[in-house]
Amino acid sequence: MAHVLPTVMRMRSNIDLVFSRYVGPISSELGAEEFDRWRDEGEVGPKGLHRYITRLARYISEDDRRREFMGYASRCIQLLSVARN
């Protein structure tokens, strides 16, 4: 199991918060399952979080809402990356 940096975990928390707005209370269970799968794939840096977002997006059935989620979730990565610099 790959080690995940604290910065990446903060980004993930923000992504999960956005995800919860789209799928409701089941989001924590879905997020935990997908996070474990994502982490097991090995690329656990900030750039790899786009794969995590894509995994979560599969649970949003409406195309417009899925795209909207992916946009907001991707900004979570960008904002924290900029804040670190």
Domain map (residue ranges) of the chain: 6-84
High-pLDDT (> 70) share of the chain, %: 91
CA–CA distances in Å: residue 55 to residues 38, 59, 84: 8, 8, 25
- Whole-model pTM? 0.88
Model confidence pLDDT, tens digit, residues 64-83: 999 999 999 999 988 665 55
Task: Establish how many alpha carbons lie within 13 A of residue 36's alpha carbon, considering only the half-sphere containing its beta carbon.
Answer: 5
Rounded CA-CA distance 34/43 in Å is: 14
Percent of the chain exceeding pLDDT 90 equals 74
* 45 Cβ neighbours under 8 A, 6+ residues apart: 5, 8
